[in-house]
Structure 1
């Protein structure tokens, strides 16, 4: 019985070894990594893809150490001609299977990253993304946003003081002679006409008095004669 149990244990151990070996072979070395599109302002530790960028870089994680990667970026509709290479280069990953490309720029449009590497088993890694540098720019300051003149260091005079001085200038002091009230029919022309009529009446009265005096003198002369 003990011999039979020992034999079963050996057979089970061999079966487990074979199973683990087949699982390890099913996950090809080098195909376990991932690559991300990162905005140039994003740190390398972030493992989230950013498909809308302006200046960007390629960030690789989890590949086999010291792998060499050949990558290319091709145009995608509606940008250019599908599959046309817009940019390409190679990258050596570090001992942890991590690598970062230099900062990259492309004209605004739609693109696809194709990522090939040593020890690849199956399809290459892919990432589709957009570049949009026009929408990424900060709004520039308009000329009208700043005041055209520097504000004065001294405060302006209160409006109340200007309005308070106006009545004094118009009414004058106690010695000021009152202005003649306007006549119903006009202004200064009527006053001149009134003066002329008064002078004419005075002359007429003087003539009448002179004529009356002459008449009295004649009567007295006749009475004496």
Structure 2
């Protein structure tokens, strides 16, 4: 019994059309006006203008980059996962030049999440997860119970643009798979 290739082609074209429409409907990668800045976690010994993000620190500060001049950013550092009455830090950064930093911060060893929002910004809160891990030193003020565990140390969150790109890659892979299944005589296997 032979099967017609046309229904398979129609199904493949429907998958491609759906994937293409998802790619076209995906939001652009640009942020809302005023939401383009980034916060980096810096060890207390890292230069303020160094764009590196350090996901494992002891004494640290937050460095702000690429904000519009004159913007203000509200930020909070809390345990990850959130621990009721756990250690936190928060503050406001005013950025006359679009860049700046907090004072040095000290928290107990553990995993934390920094969340920030540009005052007057249109986008959602941005966040990063990092770990405070100080060497065992009896004189260190960082001793005490862990602040929490779990979570992923990451610099950037998964975006809808990345998701749409994944759908596109899956569609291209499906077409390649269908083409590879053809026999030498041009019929599908």
TM-score band by shorter chain is 0.5 to 0.7
Counterpart in 1 of 2:57? 53
Instruction: Give 1:28-47 correspondences, 5 Å limit.
Output: 28-47=32-51
TM-score by length of 1: 0.45
**Larger relative contact order (CA 8 Å, sep ≥ 6):** 2
1:122 deviates by 1.9
Residue number in structure 2 paired with 1:178: none
Distance 2:84 2:52 in 1: 26
By how many angstroms is 1:119 displaced? 2.6
> Runs of 4 or more off by more than 3 Å in structure 1?
82-85
Change (3 A) 1:64 1:130: same
Q: Closer, same or farther in 2 for the Cα pair 1:85/1:134, shift >3 Å?
A: closer
Q: How big is each residue's C-alpha offset from its partner over 1:121-150, in whole Å with a ceiling of 9 and x where there is no partner?
A: 22112110000112599xxxxxxxxxxxxx
8 Å contact kept, 1:34–1:60: yes
**Equivalent residue of 1:134, what SS?**
coil
What is the 5 A alignment of 1:141-180? Answer: none
TM-score scaled by structure 2?
0.53
The reply on whether 1:65 has 2:69 as its aligned counterpart is yes
8 Å contact kept, 2:75–2:90 = yes
Give the gaps of 5 or more residues in structure 2. Answer: 1-29, 139-189
CA RMSD of aligned residues (A): 2.5
Q: 1:114 to 1:27 in 2, by over 3 A?
A: closer
Name which one, 1 or 2, has greater alpha-carbon Rg: 1
How do residues 204-223 of structure 1 correspond to structure 2 at under 5 angstroms? Answer: none
Deviations 1:91-122 (A, max 9, x none): 11122x10110000000111000111223222
* Bigger share in helix: 1
Q: 2:169 matched to which residue of 1?
A: none
Superposed, which structure 2 residues align to 1:1-225 within 5 Å?
Answer: 27-77=31-81, 81=83, 86-95=88-97, 97-134=98-135
Aligned pair count reads 110
Alpha-carbon distance in 2 for matches of 1:83, 1:104: 18
Where is the strand percentage greater, Structure 1 or Structure 2? Answer: 2
